[in-house]
Structure 1
Amino acid sequence: MLRITEIKLPLDHQPSEINAAIVKKLAINKADLVEYTIFKRGVDARKANAILLVYSLDVTVNGEAKVLAKLGKDPHVKLAPDTSYKFVAQAPETLKERPVIVGLGPAGLFAALILAQSGFKPIVLERGKAVRERTKDTWDLWRKSKLNPESNVQFGEGGAGTFSDGKLYSQIKDPNHYGRKVLNEFVKAGAPEEILYVSHPHIGTFRLVGMVEEMRNNIIALGGEIRFQCKVEDIEITDNQVQAVVLASGERIATNHLILAVGHSARDTFEMIHKRGIYIEAKPFSIGFRIEHPQSLIDAARHGPNAQHPILGAADYKLVHHASNGRSVYSFCMCPGGTVVAAASEEGRVVTNGMSQYSRNERNANAGIVVGITPDEDYPGHPLAGMELQRKWESQAYLLGGSTYQAPGQLVGDFLANQPSTQFGEVTPSYTPGVHLTNLDTVLPEYVITAIREAIPQFAKQIKGFDMADAILTGVETRTSSPIRIKRNDDNLQSINTKGLYPTGEGAGYAGGILSAGVDGIRIAEAVALSMAGR
């Protein structure tokens, strides 16, 4: 099979034009084209009035060797690589031990799935609830201002990514095609097949709920065990080797292979492992606001006359500005046609995030506008100092929002003019329990406010109307990534000072998003499988 890349066709091309493009590219007769599948479809939107679709195609032809020899120097025609997943080890017939996984977000989910498919019968401990029960608790915060600290946007089956845009793309290096395994398993669990080939696939919250349930059932059918509302409060370590975990109930579960996939908001777990002497270090992350515009404004700016074309869907953006105070400002987790959601996991604190459904048909577009911060400059001296910085500004947001889980907000025009907002304009904020208008000047550090004030007019040079006076800023966005890294060895992926502990995913500082977390979970599962198989 051959892979052809960079086949460019008009946005409204006919299916027959793909056949014609293949025949022309390979210089073959029509009869020699057996079949093709779309491996990837991207969009070249550099010219809004002449948008192109860009294809990578896997093609079967008669006389493949001859065609390849003829076009061997063409960088866009090569043999298609094998992207199928290869298991590295199978469980021995007499399994003496079961691996334990803490957390059932994307990293924990895929670690559990790979180990179950390999016969290792993992035990998964999730502090939160099953995904549908968790959804009810999440709605209680959004509709009733009632927070359950153990069941919310951050904690529960599916992890934080369940209440997000459901983006399934990443910039990680993936030579083993683990990302393809993630996407294939999602399709088996009910995701649309288009996620296998569109350049920026997404699923949306409602579809993710059903998919997570299907994958859970698959793990159980393969001999795995999944236990909800089981919070790990301690890890037993002897001679730098993991021996067991201890639950809040007092139950002890013995294991020498512990996968820690707790997510970026498991602050009590971070405190516990630091107390136990497991090596962690502070890492950079970003803080800022959510910004909301009419989705129609973003569509027009990005797609011009092709705005709202069904293939293009709701437009997104990616923006970066290097501010004069030395800070980098960038858009984060952009959610086309989505909503801003309450993502708090601790009482008395306000956190925002973005979410979309598969349809992406809500009125507003939203994105994080965040500023990078670093341990050396902004929270030196302690591995958990970044976590405490998050808590500080989330508490401040709670107070400025009125201490009711409403979020503090400000119109962009007023923010740029440094004056408090008193009434909403054209843009109605989507955040529930609600937005309390104020001046955001004191809700984040001065250097963050200054950098964002400088960046927004610069972003308007790329997205016309981005500095729209009635657009809304809602605070605060502080959970862009984990504030710590649980450092691990490069060879066996275990903690650098604790044998048998395998940190993974966003919480460990090794992923950023659903796809990369799933990929990291697969890598960790393979390391555990090899160790347990004695290899």
Structure 2
Amino acid sequence: MIKITDLIVALTYNLKMLKAIVAKRLHIEDSRIEHLSILKRTVNAGNKQDIHFNMTVVVRVSGDENEVISRNKHKDISKEIEQIYTLPKNKKLKERPVVIGCGPAGMFAALILAQAGARPILLERGLDVDSRKRKVSNFWRTGILDTQTNVQFGEGGAGAFSDGKLKIGQKNSRKMKVLNEFVQAGAPPEIVYLSKPHIGTDRLNETVKRLREHVISLGGEVRFNATVTEVLIQDGQVTGVRFDEKGQKSEVSTDNVVLAIGHSARDTFKSLLDSGVYMEQKPFALGVRIEHPQAMIDKIQYGGFAGHPQLGAADYKMVVHLPNGRGVYTFCMCPGGTVVAATSEENRLTTNGMSVFARDGRNANTALLVTIGKNDLDNDDPLAGCAFQRRIETAAFEAGGGGYKAPVQRLEDFLQKRKTTAFGDVLPTYLPGTEFAELDSFLPDFITDSLRQAILEMDLWMPGFAYPDALLTGAETRSSSPVRITRGDSLEAIGIKGLYPCGEGAGYAGGIISAAVDGLLCAEQILR
């Protein structure tokens, strides 16, 4: 197979046109191309008058492929090296491994263990994805929160109520394993080659369900409504797990535990810390959601090509480094999406963003986050970041007037430090409702001052970003874990054999793909 990079392809391309472009690049007849597949497709919108795709493709041609490559001595043409994931050989485990948490890290750890014949037991404090959807919808409609099953907890993890964005970066065999498993479970096939793939919360839920069914079919066990209360440790070795399952206390014996609890399992963090598990503070970020009209973002990013069916809803990503030393950045941008209530604790409020696969909502939204460091926290307690988050969430809940209504403010009013009295042309998508409030009433000055500076600077990079009627909703507090459960080279927790801190909650991932890959790595260590 031959790989060709940096192909310039019109938005209106079809397979016949693509074959012709490839044949011309390779200096061969079209008829010699026996197979063609796209490895990567990126929108190039640098010139608004000539928006096109940049592609990397792989082809199989008749005849001597090495001769074709050597004749076309060019850095963009090379031999394709296939990324093949090899399942670890299953050493004979004394006991069934336990995976705590059914987000992407836990699910893929369980999947690899199951595929290797280790028959894992997966414990999830929340409910299955269908029951979870009903619980979350009821919360958004009525304001009645279930603290065990919500946007943070339940099958699929926090990413199940998001854009389903897949940050790939440089592909390798593990990332390709994750993508291929997603596709086999029903995710859109194009996630394998798009530069900015997403599944969408509607498609992701079905995909997660099929992954769970696959684990079970291979001898694994998935137990919902099972909240872990203690990881049992004796003489520096994991010996079991205690948990409450549907109101009944249970215990399972094991010598291997994958700890994929997610970034919001604050009660589990406390239990682990009390049990002697070493953890430390980790930098995190906090801020608000900002909403713009999606049509406006399309126009800014694509100019006259806005609305082209091959482009879909436009996105963006920006980072600003301020003179005060802080970073401010956009996070989890959701084209055509909604801002959602994402709390897991009573009388506290936090937001997140979500898009369905079609990305066809009226608004675009993204988190605007300010970096938080150790010097911003009250003390050296490993859980001081959790306490910081909680204070902001409580203040935001009160600023919204209770009932999980979110405080909102027009961007122009925020910049001029005045309370909003009426919406402009951007209406909120957040449920169960909103209340006008000044962001300064619940966010520290260093956060609001940094946001004001960054928004104006972002407007220089993306003119129109500081749109007066853009809507700010707060607070966004759960973008990442404020804790790292420290692990060594073996991926085991410091001083505890058989305990594998894993994924975003443990401080080793940031997004669906990186969390899933970390799950693979932890499973591989258990099987070695």
Same fold (TM over 0.5): yes
Determine helix, strand or coil for the equivalent of 1:393. Answer: helix
User: What is the aligned partner in structure 1 of residue 204 from structure 2?
Assistant: 208
User: 1:91: Cα distance to partner?
Assistant: 5.0
Residues 2-11 or 252-261, more deviating = 2-11
User: 1:262: Cα distance to partner?
Assistant: 0.5
Alignment partners' CA distance in 1, 2:365 and 2:338:
7
Matches within 5 A, 1:104-503: 104-171=102-169, 175=172, 177-248=173-244, 249-490=248-489, 492-503=490-501
User: What does the per-residue CA deviation read over 1:67-110, in whole Å, with 9 as the maximum and x for residues that have no partner?
Assistant: 122235x2211111121221121354xx5310000000000000
**Which AA in structure 1 matches 2:43?**
V
User: 1:25: Cα distance to partner?
Assistant: 1.6
**Which AA in structure 2 matches 1:148?**
D
Residue 517 (structure 1) aligned to one of 515, 518, 523: 515
C-alpha contact (below 8 Å) 1:170/1:513 kept by paired residues = no
User: 1:380: Cα distance to partner?
Assistant: 4.1
User: What is the aligned partner in structure 2 of residue 49 from structure 1?
Assistant: 49
User: 1:455: Cα distance to partner?
Assistant: 1.3
User: 1:27: Cα distance to partner?
Assistant: 1.9
User: What does the per-residue CA deviation read over 1:448-470, in whole Å, with 9 as the maximum and x for residues that have no partner?
Assistant: 10011111122222323211111
C-alpha contact (below 8 Å) 1:42/1:55 kept by paired residues = yes
User: What does the per-residue CA deviation read over 1:136-167, in whole Å, with 9 as the maximum and x for residues that have no partner?
Assistant: 11112111000000000000000000000000
Determine helix, strand or coil for the equivalent of 1:368. Answer: strand
C-alpha contact (below 8 Å) 1:129/1:157 kept by paired residues = yes
**Which AA in structure 1 matches 2:346?**
E
Alignment partners' CA distance in 2, 1:325 and 1:210:
45
User: What does the per-residue CA deviation read over 1:110-159, in whole Å, with 9 as the maximum and x for residues that have no partner?
Assistant: 01111101100000000000111111111121110000000000000000
Alignment partners' CA distance in 1, 2:97 and 2:30:
54
Alignment partners' CA distance in 2, 1:516 and 1:146:
33
User: What is the aligned partner in structure 1 of residue 64 from structure 2?
Assistant: 63
C-alpha contact (below 8 Å) 1:408/1:436 kept by paired residues = yes
Alignment partners' CA distance in 2, 1:516 and 1:71:
36
User: 1:14: Cα distance to partner?
Assistant: 4.1
C-alpha contact (below 8 Å) 1:324/1:451 kept by paired residues = no
Q: Structure 1 residues 379 and 315 mapped into 2: Cα distance closer, same or farther (>3 Å)?
A: farther
Alignment partners' CA distance in 2, 1:3 and 1:487:
40
C-alpha contact (below 8 Å) 1:43/1:54 kept by paired residues = yes
Alignment partners' CA distance in 2, 1:117 and 1:316:
37
C-alpha contact (below 8 Å) 1:298/1:463 kept by paired residues = no
Alignment partners' CA distance in 1, 2:49 and 2:337:
25
User: 1:33: Cα distance to partner?
Assistant: 2.2
User: What is the aligned partner in structure 1 of residue 10 from structure 2?
Assistant: 10
User: What does the per-residue CA deviation read over 1:320-356, in whole Å, with 9 as the maximum and x for residues that have no partner?
Assistant: 1122322111101000000000000000100000000
Determine helix, strand or coil for the equivalent of 1:152. Answer: coil
Q: Structure 1 residues 427 and 482 mapped into 2: Cα distance closer, same or farther (>3 Å)?
A: same
Alignment partners' CA distance in 1, 2:498 and 2:31:
58
Alignment partners' CA distance in 2, 1:341 and 1:91:
44
C-alpha contact (below 8 Å) 1:127/1:228 kept by paired residues = yes
Alignment partners' CA distance in 1, 2:486 and 2:25:
48
C-alpha contact (below 8 Å) 1:168/1:202 kept by paired residues = yes
Alignment partners' CA distance in 1, 2:11 and 2:511:
29
C-alpha contact (below 8 Å) 1:422/1:438 kept by paired residues = no
C-alpha contact (below 8 Å) 2:377/2:384 kept by paired residues = no
User: 1:170: Cα distance to partner?
Assistant: 3.5
Percentage of matched positions with identical amino acids: 47
Alignment of 1:33 with 2:33, yes or no, is yes
Residues 154-163 or 322-331, more deviating = 322-331
Alignment partners' CA distance in 2, 1:329 and 1:64:
49
User: 1:311: Cα distance to partner?
Assistant: 1.4
Alignment partners' CA distance in 2, 1:455 and 1:379:
25
Residues 412-421 or 318-327, more deviating = 318-327
Alignment partners' CA distance in 1, 2:329 and 2:205:
29
User: What does the per-residue CA deviation read over 1:391-428, in whole Å, with 9 as the maximum and x for residues that have no partner?
Assistant: 00000000000021001110000000000111111111
User: What is the aligned partner in structure 1 of residue 525 from structure 2?
Assistant: 527
C-alpha contact (below 8 Å) 1:234/1:245 kept by paired residues = yes
User: 1:36: Cα distance to partner?
Assistant: 1.1
Alignment partners' CA distance in 2, 1:210 and 1:309:
28
Alignment partners' CA distance in 1, 2:378 and 2:19:
57
**Which AA in structure 1 matches 2:486?**
K
User: 1:208: Cα distance to partner?
Assistant: 1.1
Alignment partners' CA distance in 1, 2:77 and 2:378:
50
Q: Structure 1 residues 529 and 29 mapped into 2: Cα distance closer, same or farther (>3 Å)?
A: same
User: 1:28: Cα distance to partner?
Assistant: 2.1
User: 1:379: Cα distance to partner?
Assistant: 4.8
User: 1:377: Cα distance to partner?
Assistant: 4.3
Alignment partners' CA distance in 2, 1:143 and 1:130:
20
Normalising by structure 2, we get a TM-score of: 0.97
**Which AA in structure 1 matches 2:95?**
E
User: 1:206: Cα distance to partner?
Assistant: 1.2
**Which AA in structure 1 matches 2:128?**
A
**Which AA in structure 2 matches 1:328?**
G
Alignment partners' CA distance in 1, 2:171 and 2:357:
26
**Which AA in structure 1 matches 2:482?**
P
Residue 504 (structure 1) aligned to one of 494, 502, 505: 502
Residues 117-126 or 303-312, more deviating = 303-312
User: What is the aligned partner in structure 2 of residue 533 from structure 1?
Assistant: none
Alignment partners' CA distance in 2, 1:12 and 1:414:
43
Determine helix, strand or coil for the equivalent of 2:461. Answer: coil
Alignment partners' CA distance in 2, 1:17 and 1:162:
37
**Which AA in structure 1 matches 2:286?**
I
User: What does the per-residue CA deviation read over 1:242-273, in whole Å, with 9 as the maximum and x for residues that have no partner?
Assistant: 11111123311111100000000000000011
Q: After the TM superposition, list the runs of 4 or more consecutive aligned residues in structure 1 that deviate by more than 3 angstroms.
A: 376-380
